[in-house]
Structure 1
Amino acid sequence: MNKKNYKKYVGIFMLLGLVLILTGCSNLNEPITSQSSGFWDHIVLYNFSRFILWLSSLVGNQYGWGIIFFTIIIRMILLPLNWFQIRSMNKQMKVQPEIQALQKKYSAKDQETQQKLREETQKLYSEAGVNPVAGCLPLLIQLPVMFALYQAIYKTAELRNGSFLWMQLGKPDPYYIMAVLAALFTFLSTYMSSYSQPTQNSTTKIMAYVMPIFIFIPALTFPSAITLYWVISNFFQVIQTLVFQNPFKYRREQREKEEREKERQRQIRKAKKRAHKK
């Protein structure tokens, strides 16, 4: 890993560590009020709680709808960042053939060759305007939001004791429907993102099936409000991928492009044969 990427990853882990420390300092048994102290409770959790309650008041104090609206607003705020991520991914897909050529050129496993491969890969990414870390940014922002939502629910009596459809928001879904939907939409969003890549390595394929499991298992015991957030967030991600990337259209265009290239090569070979006969 080069120095630049190393610093980025260190920054990401430091930010996540700070969030974990702040959430750990919050007492779940202490209700949120305007008098709550500390940055996390007074600034983050209190405002999250008030905002969700306000959104709920617009639809007759339906707290589930308040969480749904809250989730959509968060995803809309993240749209510019997601667009930046998608552009970076598209650029990365375009240079994939060149990356594969570099991997063949520097296929030896010794340290010097692998270092050269990393340097050439980073140079290629830099020239193409690719940021390999861009895919982490939306997730990096959503994790603190999820932590804050989790604690805001427990520390706000209206949300903790509120109900929506068949669920009590502060308790797990008794029928596991939200857990199944959260896993399903996670799979669809992950699969569609990987489907748009021209070449899928084993890690990419595995992640498409592992990520839903990572969501499904905790969703069985998490409050319904959290799984509701996951369902809406990942459903939004599926729609966003279809609109901005449309992996199925991309794959079709790639196949058509390959067919045109094959036809062009066939025509060249035929022309060479005719020229040779003459």
Structure 2
Amino acid sequence: MDIWNFFTSFIVQSIAFLTHEVGVGEAVAIILFTLIGRLVLMPINLLAMANMYRNKKAISALKPELDKIKVIHKDKPNEIAKSTMALYKKNNIKILDKKSVINIASQGVFGFGMFQALQQIVFNSKFAWIANIAKPDVALALLVGVITYFSMIMMPGSAEQTSTLLFIIPAIICIITLISFPSAIGLYWATSSVTSLLQSLVLNNYFQKQEINKAI
């Protein structure tokens, strides 16, 4: 618990340093610290996203066999799941490997730490159209929800057949959550989601070029 308190205290003091010593506004300090944090976590995040993309391509190549399993074990969901996992194992497809676990854990720790730290700080400044970042802002919440939706859709590991509802639900949860919390938290969430979106765009572009080069 002392380690966690040290971590959240470090976030609070870092934002205070950026505000009072560097001389940037409170909102900019939140954005800058979020970017620094995401930059530190970027290597493991990129590795995990690359692994998701490779799994996506491998699963796509197995589609005929997966469809065959569904036909053979029709009305037997347990058998379908069992056979599917056996096929994944045979082709060395790991949906959740060590890199993915570390990435999820690190992102979760950073996000929850920011969430708690930002609630400890007393804000009293405006940013863009937001009159006071200490108070909720509906427009910001909606904006973050939209960014979150697109960042999830653009993830390299997102399957084409995935239901749109699976992307919409987290975005709606995001909006509902941010409507009740300070805009400072929304600014963190927006910055983090934009970073994820940009990473996804860069990786998707890289993988597309790789595919083109292989086809030539």
Give the counterpart of 2:106 among 135, 141, 158. 141
Shift of residue 170, structure 1, vs aligned partner: 2.9
Q: More displaced, 220-229 or 80-89?
A: 80-89
TM-score by length of 1: 0.64
List per-residue Cα deviations over 1:160-179 (Å, max 9, x = no partner): 23313234333212xx2210
Tell me: CA distance 1:58–1:138, structure 2 relative to 1, closer, same or farther (3 Å): farther
Structure 1 residue runs without a partner (length 5+): 1-21, 23-37, 261-278
Counterpart in 2 of 1:35? none
| Cα deviation, residue 231, structure 1 | 0.7
Establish whether residue 209 from structure 1 lines up as the match of residue 168 from structure 2: yes
- Which stretch shows the higher mean deviation, 185-194 or 57-66? 57-66
Secondary structure at the counterpart of residue 225 of structure 1: helix
Q: Closer, same or farther in 2 for the Cα pair 1:213/1:40, shift >3 Å?
A: same
Cα pair 2:149 2:167 within 8 Å, conserved: yes
Paired residue type of 1:200? Q
Letter matched to residue 75 of structure 1: R
TM-score computed with the length of structure 2 as normaliser: 0.80
**8 Å contact kept, 1:160–1:170:** yes
- What amino acid is aligned across from residue 117 of structure 1 in structure 2? T
Q: SS of the residue aligned with 2:155?
A: helix
Task: Confirm or deny: 8 A CA contact 1:59 1:65 kept in the other structure.
Answer: no
Look up the equivalent residue of 2:134 and give its one-letter code: G
Which amino acid in the other structure matches residue 63 of structure 2? Q
Q: Secondary structure at the match of 1:189?
A: helix
Structure 2 match to 1:123: 90
What is the aligned counterpart of 2:122 among 149, 155, 160? Answer: 160
Unaligned runs of 5+ in 2: none
Displacement of 1:135:
4.8
Please tell me the residue identity of whatever aligns with 1:101. P
The match for 2:13 is 50
Question: Is the aligned partner of 1:228 residue 2:191?
Answer: no
Q: 1:208 to 1:116 in 2, by over 3 A?
A: closer
Deviation at 1:105, TM superposition (A): 3.3
Name the count of aligned residue pairs: 205
User: 2: CA distance between counterparts of 1:113 and 1:154?
Assistant: 46
Quote the residue 1:276 is aligned against: none
1:182 corresponds to 2:153: no
Larger-gyration structure (1/2): 1
Asked if residue 73 in structure 1 is aligned to residue 39 in structure 2, the reply is: no
Structure 1 Cα separation of the partners of residues 179 and 170 of structure 2: 15
Q: Classify 1:179/1:114 alpha carbon distance in 2 versus 1 (closer, same or farther; 3 Å).
A: closer
Alpha-carbon separation, structure 2, partners of 1:208 and 1:59? 38
Question: Is 2:164 aligned against 1:200?
Answer: no
Instruction: Give the whole-Å Cα distance in 1 for the aligned partners of 2:192 and 2:34.
Output: 6
RMSD: 2.8
Once the two structures are superposed, what CA deviation does each residue of 1:158-208 show, in whole Å capped at 9, x if it has no partner?
Answer: x323313234333212xx2210211111011112227x7564233xx2222
Q: Which structure's relative contact order is higher, taking Cα pairs within 8 Å and 6+ residues apart?
A: 2
One-letter amino acid of the structure 1 residue matched with residue 52 of structure 2 = M
Q: Is the 8 A contact 1:67 1:229 kept in 2?
A: yes
Letter in 2 for 1:179: A
Runs of 4+ in 1 over 4 A off after TM superposition: 109-114, 134-137
Counterpart of 1:160 in 2: which secondary structure?
coil
What SS does the aligned partner of 1:164 have? coil
**Aligned-partner Cα distance in 2 for 1:145–1:97:** 33
Q: Distance in 2 between matches of 1:86 and 1:61?
A: 33
